[in-house]
Amino acid sequence: MSENQLSSLAKKFSDRSAVIGVFGMGYVGQPLALLFAASGFKVIGFDVDEQKVESLNSGHSDIEHIPDETVAKAVREGMACTTDFSKAAEADALIMCVPTPLNKYREPDLQFVTATIDAIVPYLRAGQVVSLESTTYPGTTDEELLPRIESQGFAVGQDIFLVYSPEREDPGNAHFSTRTIPKVVGGHTADCLEVGMGLYSPIIDRVVPVSSTRAAEMTKLLENIHRAVNIGLVNEMKVVADKMGINIREVIDAAATKPFGFVPYYPGPGLGGHCIPIDPFYLTWKAREFGLSTRFIELAGEVNGAMPDYVVGKVKSALNDRFKSVRGSNILVLGIAYKPNVDDVRESPSVFIMERLRDLGAEIAYSDPHVATFPRMREHHFELSSIQLTPESVSRFDCVLLATDHDKFDYEMIAREADLIVDSRGRFDAANEHVVAA
């Protein structure tokens, strides 16, 4: 039976007759679903957000870097989105791209993963492959998905195939796309791996097999921990260099001329996005099960987590030097997305900075060409809309804080009109007396 199911699925993927189900039509699931659709597959997009489903079915994207026409074309060619999880029975591949946040104790919160697989399980049938793409700790696929699938009487690796293939999306990166970023795949069995390779090979330029789902899960964590630790290092170096009166960016640029043994990372106001601030803690939590303490990772998290307060301290000091207090000051925050040229504010350090300044009594405004209105968030609340940057609007603020350096900002105008600039991204000339590096 295994051979029949395996060969049947392989044929469906190779001739593109397979139906692809993508669960979670957000920053990860939406590009993946659109790529499958553009490659000739019939796609069903699943999401619990009825408004999002209606918008996508109408040909509209809620993600800035995905054009409406791309969605509209996919819909015309047969992509359909739904909140009805019973349609999972129609799909040959069930790909889970749901959030994996932390709870208030900074422990893994798998409620979206478990809720999704629980919603899918009643509609499973032989001849399907289940793929988890959400970033998580090693063992999640084996410990959470496998027993739920087996509870329905299926033999995994024979009737149904189970794989883990971590997402590697980088929104706003013009140099790489979902198709061109290599895709790591691990299977529960050798046949599962073969099916997983067959699933992704038609749409991804290079698929990279690893020996198990746990190896694939660890691969994703290593990638993000590598960035978090190196950013933590350079953020700590920034604080030290600042105390010594040294421009850390000049030092990094000089060090980067070394053609070997050094990779430049640049400091900022903290870590943002749904991956780098969160994923390392998935491993630290799991490591405790094995009696291990991941001190290096936790130290990096401590350093990076302190950066918003460091920037707030710079704002306080800069205003104080001008005989002003934070309380009552009008402060304009430039950029609330977590990184340049995207509309994603998840875990953005800008938001934490805004909250701290508001708590100190400042009057806060923001400008972000990618985020017109402050979004609904679970833990952060501002009734604000992005203001238009003009010489008149910039000049009326006591302090302009550059938190996210979008390319669309007119830096020359801002430098000319702002009374005080606190720069956490190194875009302004720190030699100017009204510019304070943060």
Joined tokens for residue 81: 């989105």
pLDDT at residue 85 is higher than 60:
yes
Tell me what pLDDT residue 267 has.
Answer: 96
Highest-scoring range by mean pLDDT, 63-67, 326-330, 345-349: 326-330
Q: How many CA atoms lie within 13 A of 431 on its CB side?
A: 1
pTM: 0.92
- Domain residue extents for the chain: 2-211, 253-437
CATH number of 253-437: 3.40.50.720
- pLDDT (average), residues 366-395: 93
Q: pLDDT of 343-352, one tens digit each?
A: 999 899 999 9
Q: What is the mean pLDDT of the chain?
A: 95
Q: Do domains 2-211 and 253-437 have the same CATH topology?
A: yes
pLDDT category, 83, cuts 50, 70, 90? very high
Q: pLDDT of 151-171, one tens digit each?
A: 999 999 999 999 999 999 887
pLDDT category, 103, cuts 50, 70, 90? confident
Tell me what pLDDT residue 205 has.
Answer: 97
| Strand pairing class (160-164; 183-187) | antiparallel
Tell me what pLDDT residue 3 has.
Answer: 66
d(CA 272, CA 345): 8
- pLDDT (average), residues 62-78: 94
Q: Which of 81, 97, 192, 275 is catalytic?
A: 275
Q: Which fold has domain 2-211?
A: Rossmann fold (3.40.50)
Count the neighbouring beta carbons within 10 Å of the beta carbon of residue 266: 15
Secondary structure (DSSP) of 175-234: T--TTTS-EEEEESSHHHHHHHHHHHTTT-S-EEEES-HHHHHHHHHHHHHHHHHHHHHH
Q: pLDDT of 171-212, one tens digit each?
A: 778 889 999 999 999 999 999 999 999 999 999 999 999 999
Q: Please answer whether residues 132 and 98 qualify as being in contact, where contact means their C-beta atoms are separated by less than 8 angstroms.
A: no
pLDDT category, 1, cuts 50, 70, 90? very low
The answer to whether residue 275 is catalytic is: yes
Tell me what pLDDT residue 379 has.
Answer: 76
d(CA 424, CA 233): 16
- pLDDT (average), residues 47-67: 94
**3-12, 215-224, 227-236, 313-322: lowest mean pLDDT where?**
3-12
Kindly state the percentage of the chain with pLDDT values over 70. Answer: 99
